[in-house]
Amino acid sequence: MHISTYLDEVVVWTPAKVNLFLEVLGKRPDGYHDIATLMVAIRLYDTLVFRTAPELALRCSSAQLSSGPDNLVLRAAKLLQERTGCQRGASIRLIKRIPMAAGLAGGSADAAATLLGLNDLWKLGRSDAELANIGAEIGSDIPFFFDTPAAWCTGRGEIVAPAPLSIPLDFVLLCPAFGMPTAAVYKNVVVPPVPVSGNAIRAALGQADVDLIGKLLHNRLQTAAEGFDPRIAEYARMLAKVAPAPAGSLMSGSGSTLFALCRSPDEADRVAASLKTRTKAHDFRLIVTRSL
């Protein structure tokens, strides 16, 4: 996340993420799943603007997104008030660019940005680690955004260990016009008797071996998502056959976004150009981006 403080406002730019690896390890007593995942932040940003105000209020650039108390931004703001005893208000403006219900953690990124921005606006003096712990109470992906650009995340996803990322990674995101309900995807997942290890892809990331990373991409949730909506499988086949062939392709998180991992910005541009010629190109949005 990037934060700028001005005379009367604080602005935070918060990135999306993709999962290069996601394994489901088991069902927890609290109803969640234990996972192991390798996440990378990418240069696709939401922007949040914070100003002092008598009460908490949220405005969103997207009419599809609630600006009520169910929004993670307001939930994060209220939780920060509770945990710090601060009762100051703020007007919050959310400029939405990260697709919603897309497996890119846009909501979690916005919540993390809210904790960071209000910590600055309200002069609370909380550390990133303290803010991450607060965020973990309402969203498993929120702590990751305090440890970008890459991290190995376990537990529900809230236990974060920074991972080395020595070179930028290039991606083409294929964002379908529909979203995926995270809870339904997890409900359909089959926990493997022997989980796939992420050690090899973590090592490949540290060695900056893009081709090997591409071969080791893994997401246990993809099969469950394909069963829930066959269009995910259709788009996955499209990415697998695209020319030039990327290093690999995968669904991010619980979907619906899929991505192609490319070896260079030029290859990413050519992959995106090839995908634009497909007959179903009007059913999805393509985004060419890089890791942070």
128 catalytic, yes or no? no
**Residue tagged active-site, from 141, 147, 170, 229:** 141
Alpha helices in 138-285 (DSSP H): 182-188, 199-206, 210-216, 221-228, 230-241, 265-276
Q: Which residues contact 163 (CB under 8 A, 6 or more apart)?
A: 38, 150, 151, 152, 202, 205, 206
Q: What is the CA radius of gyration of the chain?
A: 19
Cβ-count burial 78-108 (b if 16+ within 10 Å, e if not): ebbbebbeeebbbbbbbebebbebbbbbbbb
134, 80 contact by CB (below 8 A): yes
Q: How many CB atoms lie within 10 A of CB 145?
A: 30
244: preceding bond cis by omega (within 30 degrees): yes
141 catalytic, yes or no? yes
Cα 145 to its chain centre, rounded Å, is 9
Q: How many CB atoms lie within 10 A of CB 28?
A: 12
Tell me which residues are annotated as active site: 17, 141
